Amino acid sequence: MVTVALLELDLRESEGLPQREAAVAQLLGALPPGVELAVLPELWTVGAFSKELKASAQPLDGPFAGSMSAAARERGIWLHAGSFVEQQPDGAFSNTSLLFDPGGEMVALYRKIHTFGFGEGEADLLTAGDEVVVVETPLGLTGLSTCYDLRFPELYRRQRELGAECFMIPAGWPSARIEHWDALLRARAIENQAVVLACNCTGDSAGVSLGGHSDVLDHDGRALGSWQDSTLVADVAIADTQERRRRFPVHDDRRLGAMRG
Of the listed 8, 86, 112, 199, which one is catalytic?
112
d(CA 54, CA 244) in angstroms, rounded, equals 44
d(CA 134, CA 151) in angstroms, rounded, equals 18
Q: From the DSSP assignment, how many helices (H) and strands (E) are in the chain?
A: 6, 15
What are the CA-CA distances from residue 250 to residues 156, 190, 192, 219, 255 (Å)? 15, 11, 9, 12, 11
Q: Is 112 a catalytic residue?
A: yes
Of the listed 8, 147, 166, 199, which one is catalytic?
147
Residue in 142, 134, 201 with CA at minimum distance from that of residue 174: 201
Reported as half-sphere exposure (CB side, CA atoms, 13 A), residue 3 has a value of 10
Q: Is 199 a catalytic residue?
A: no
What residues are annotated to the active site?
42, 112, 147
